[in-house]
């Protein structure tokens, strides 16, 4: 049976990744470890660029976001509070015939260990009942390895942000609305890692928790909550934005980010989670999808895409949980709210109080511990709503949460382009060009001396490399014909090649100290002064 086209495309991508050093199988010499991947020299640069660009866009270019770098292993109480210990699981089933282990919701897509194809299609074995399998990797802290020493490798970076919310608030001089950003490793013992790096067991996340005022607080201070147009970027944040405007803003900001690194809107898709899909505390979640070669099509034949990033409006659930589990207050004090509340008409106060009370009671009821009575819950909700008059509330959160590895895979799939040319002897050759946006490209520029046995040319080329190297990743290559060297750089995705030749040395006096600049995507070449090279390259790659 012919291989579906999209699988062939993935095969080519996986093969290029290994051949050129983007991604290797982890522990390959020992047969690999399912769900774990290493980034080779080009992949490591690509990944570093992506994380750096995210960090830059999310923290340094904004006044309202601070950074955090927390540990991977944290108090296990964090994962009790977050709900991961109780509910972070996938439904798992076993096949009694082939002994394969599958996710109950994905049996039609998973390789059967007995036959290298599909379990349901090939094996049709009887399956066990589905049972919950917790995805967190467990370990022990300290030498005794008893149940009391159990700890987890974090399954998301987000929880450290919530746990450190107060410390960051107090040390960064930020005020709500503001965000805390973190990039780092996350671990999930996925039942079925698949689609190359798309679903891995060890991966990296880039997460922002953006803390906002509850809508009742906005209404108390500003009279009403602003509405923003449903499509397009809503512009600069405004003080009267409620959660919907902020959620919409962050979706659009993130799309802009992806566009800025070469993923056009046409390559992306959106999934607005339905009420049935949403977590009980979430108000909305928009997934930004990328149309991967393995992504499914809808009934009309359009590629749907798979999740690159989720942007969730998580209400005040996370901070509330940590407040309840740690006993430490997670609320903030807002002078503006206190002053505004005192001036509100009684009916407005009552209306806002009741809405805030209902929201808190709803949360407290759903998250109640077994020993909590309805009276205690009502009393707590009353205390929380009374806090508004004193200027106190627990911030709500909008969470744009992206996976680094999925983005790397998207960038690689998006960049992959091949041309097959047949020469006059009928011999055909396929050449691959990785059309990365210059901002993410692993190598920004290749410096190529035309001949390696001409000391003046080599010296000049080395001087050009020395000029550029403090600013960007430069590759120096003097081996092989210039055509082959260009082809190697095209495959690595290097957007610019600079050739130093006899004209650089002044063979044509008017071309002294100029180089040939070659553009990867169309092969066009032009002459540029060495003195203008750095500014040109910086303008294209930053």
Q: Which stretch binds ligand GAP (CB under 6 A): 235-243, 265-273, 395-403, 415-423?
A: 395-403
User: Coil, strand or helix: which one is 440?
Assistant: coil
Interaction residues for ligand GAP, span 104-133 (CB under 6 A): none
What is the CB neighbour count within 10 angstroms for residue 8? 12
- For residue 284, give every residue at least 6 positions away whose Cβ sits within 8 Å of its Cβ, in sequence order, or none: 244, 247, 272, 273, 278, 312, 313
Q: Which stretch binds ligand GAP (CB under 6 A): 107-115, 201-209, 259-267, 325-333?
A: 201-209
Peptide linkage before 45 cis (omega within 30 of 0): no
Q: Give the C-alpha separation, 213 to 394, whole Å.
A: 8
Q: Which stretch binds ligand GAP (CB under 6 A): 144-152, 203-211, 351-359, 360-368?
A: 203-211
Q: Note whether 81 binds ligand GAP by CB under 6 A.
A: no
How many whole angstroms from its chain centre is CA 35? 18
Go through 413-424 and write b for each residue having 16 or more CB atoms within 10 A of its CB, e for each that does not.
bbbbeeeeeeee
The CA-based dihedral angle spanning residues 292, 293, 297, 303, taken in that order and rounded to the nearest 10 degrees? 50
Written as six digits, the tokens of 273 are: 């989670």
Q: Note whether 20 binds ligand GAP by CB under 6 A.
A: no
Q: Which stretch binds ligand GAP (CB under 6 A): 111-119, 325-333, 394-402, 494-502?
A: 394-402
Nearest CB to ligand GAP, comparing residues 135 and 226: 135
Nearest CB to ligand GAP, comparing residues 154 and 359: 154
Nearest CB to ligand GAP, comparing residues 190 and 501: 190
Residue nearest to ligand GAP (CB): 403
Q: Give the C-alpha separation, 130 to 413, whole Å.
A: 34
Q: Note whether 190 binds ligand GAP by CB under 6 A.
A: yes
Q: Give the C-alpha separation, 331 to 391, whole Å.
A: 10
DSSP line for 38-106: EE-HHHHHHHHHHHHHHHIIIIIT-SSEEE----SB--HHHHHHHTHHHH-EEEEEEBTTT--EEEGGG
Contact at 8 Å (CB) between 411 and 403? Answer: no
Q: Note whether 158 binds ligand GAP by CB under 6 A.
A: yes
Q: Note whether 397 binds ligand GAP by CB under 6 A.
A: no
Q: Which stretch binds ligand GAP (CB under 6 A): 55-63, 197-205, 316-324, 362-370?
A: 197-205
Q: Note whether 182 binds ligand GAP by CB under 6 A.
A: no
Q: Note whether 156 binds ligand GAP by CB under 6 A.
A: yes
How many whole angstroms from its chain centre is CA 461? 38
Q: Give the C-alpha separation, 264 to 414, whole Å.
A: 9
Q: Which of 82, 134, 182, 200 binds ligand GAP (CB under 6 A)?
A: 200
Contact at 8 Å (CB) between 295 and 303? Answer: yes
Nearest CB to ligand GAP, comparing residues 132 and 148: 132
Q: What is the closest distance, in whole angstroms, from the C-beta atom of residue 135 to ligand GAP in the complex?
A: 8
Q: Note whether 205 binds ligand GAP by CB under 6 A.
A: yes
Q: Which stretch binds ligand GAP (CB under 6 A): 315-323, 362-370, 400-408, 515-523?
A: 400-408
Burial (CB count <10 Å: 0-12, 13-18, 19+), residue 371:
exposed
Q: Which stretch binds ligand GAP (CB under 6 A): 233-241, 401-409, 450-458, 478-486?
A: 401-409
Q: Note whether 403 binds ligand GAP by CB under 6 A.
A: yes
Q: Which of 254, 406, 518, 520 binds ligand GAP (CB under 6 A)?
A: 406
Q: Which of 203, 243, 357, 496 binds ligand GAP (CB under 6 A)?
A: 203
Interaction residues for ligand GAP, span 275-334 (CB under 6 A): 307-310
Q: Which of 59, 192, 267, 401 binds ligand GAP (CB under 6 A)?
A: 401
Q: Note whether 90 binds ligand GAP by CB under 6 A.
A: no
User: What separation in angstroms does the CA of 439 have from each of 133, 436, 542?
Assistant: 40, 8, 6
Alpha-carbon torsion (359, 360, 362, 363), positive or negative = positive
Nearest CB to ligand GAP, comparing residues 198 and 356: 198
Helices (H) then strands (E): counts for the chain: 16, 23
Q: Note whether 68 binds ligand GAP by CB under 6 A.
A: no
Q: What is the closest distance, in whole angstroms, from the C-beta atom of residue 193 to ligand GAP in the complex?
A: 7
Residues 209-238, mask of contacts with ligand GAP (x by CB under 6 A): ------------------------------
Binding site for ligand GAP (CB under 6 A): 156, 158, 188, 190, 199-200, 203, 205, 207, 307-310, 399, 401-403, 405-406
């Amino acid at each position: 049976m012919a291989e579906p086209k999209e699988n062939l495309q993935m095969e080519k991508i996986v093969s290029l990744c290994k051949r050129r050093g983007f991604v290797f199988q982890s522990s390959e010499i020992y047969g690999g470890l399912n769900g774990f991947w290493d980034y080779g020299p080009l992949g490591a640069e690509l990944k570093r660029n992506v994380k750096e660009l995210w960090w830059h866009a999310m923290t340094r270019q904004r006044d309202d976001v601070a950074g955090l770098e927390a540990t991977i292993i944290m108090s296990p109480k964090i994962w009790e509070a977050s709900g991961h210990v109780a509910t972070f699981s996938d439904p798992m089933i076993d096949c009694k015939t082939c002994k394969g282990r599958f996710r109950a919701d994905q049996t039609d897509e998973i390789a059967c260990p007995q036959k290298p194809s599909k379990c349901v299609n090939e094996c049709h074995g009887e399956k066990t009942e589905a049972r919950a399998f917790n995805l967190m990797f467990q370990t022990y802290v300290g030498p005794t390895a008893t149940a009391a020493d159990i700890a987890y490798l974090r399954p998301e970076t987000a929880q450290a942000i919530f746990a450190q919310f107060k410390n960051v608030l107090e040390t960064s001089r930020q005020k709500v609305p503001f965000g805390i950003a973190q990039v780092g490793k996350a671990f999930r013992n996925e039942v079925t890692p698949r689609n190359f790096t798309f679903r891995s067991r060890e991966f990296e996340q880039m997460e922002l928790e953006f803390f906002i005022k509850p809508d009742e607080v906005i209404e108390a201070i500003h009279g009403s909550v602003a509405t923003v147009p449903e499509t397009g970027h809503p512009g600069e944040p405004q003080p009267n934005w409620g959660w919907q405007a902020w959620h919409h803003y962050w979706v659009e900001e993130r799309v802009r980010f992806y566009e800025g690194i070469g993923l056009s809107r046409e390559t992306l898709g959106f999934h607005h989670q339905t009420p049935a899909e949403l977590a009980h505390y979430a108000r909305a979640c928009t997934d930004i999808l990328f149309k991967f070669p393995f992504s499914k099509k809808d009934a009309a034949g359009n590629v749907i895409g798979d999740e690159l990033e989720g942007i969730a409006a998580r209400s005040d659930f996370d901070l509330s949980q940590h407040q309840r589990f740690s006993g430490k207050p997670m609320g903030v004090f807002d002078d503006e709210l206190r002053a505004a509340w005192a001036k509100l008409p009684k009916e407005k106060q009552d209306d806002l109080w009741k809405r805030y009370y209902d929201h808190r009671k709803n949360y407290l009821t759903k998250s109640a511990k077994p020993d909590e009575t309805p009276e205690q819950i009502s009393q707590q909700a009353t205390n929380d709503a009374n806090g508004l008059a004193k200027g106190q509330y627990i911030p709500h959160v909008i969470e744009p949460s992206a996976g680094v590895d999925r983005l790397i895979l998207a960038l690689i799939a998006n960049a992959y382009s091949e041309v097959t040319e047949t020469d006059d002897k009928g011999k055909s050759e396929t050449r691959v060009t990785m059309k990365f946006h210059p901002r993410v490209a692993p190598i920004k520029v290749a410096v190529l001396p035309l001949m390696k046995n001409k000391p003046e040319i080599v010296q000049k080329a080395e001087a050009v490399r020395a000029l550029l190297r403090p600013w960007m990743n430069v590759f120096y290559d003097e081996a092989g014909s210039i055509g082959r060297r260009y082809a190697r750089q095209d495959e690595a995705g290097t957007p610019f090649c600079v050739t130093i030749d006899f004209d650089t040395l002044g063979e044509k006096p008017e071309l002294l100290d100029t180089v040939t600049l070659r553009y990867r995507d169309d092969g066009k070449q032009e002459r540029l002064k060495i003195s203008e090279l750095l500014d040109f390259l910086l303008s294209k790659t930053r």
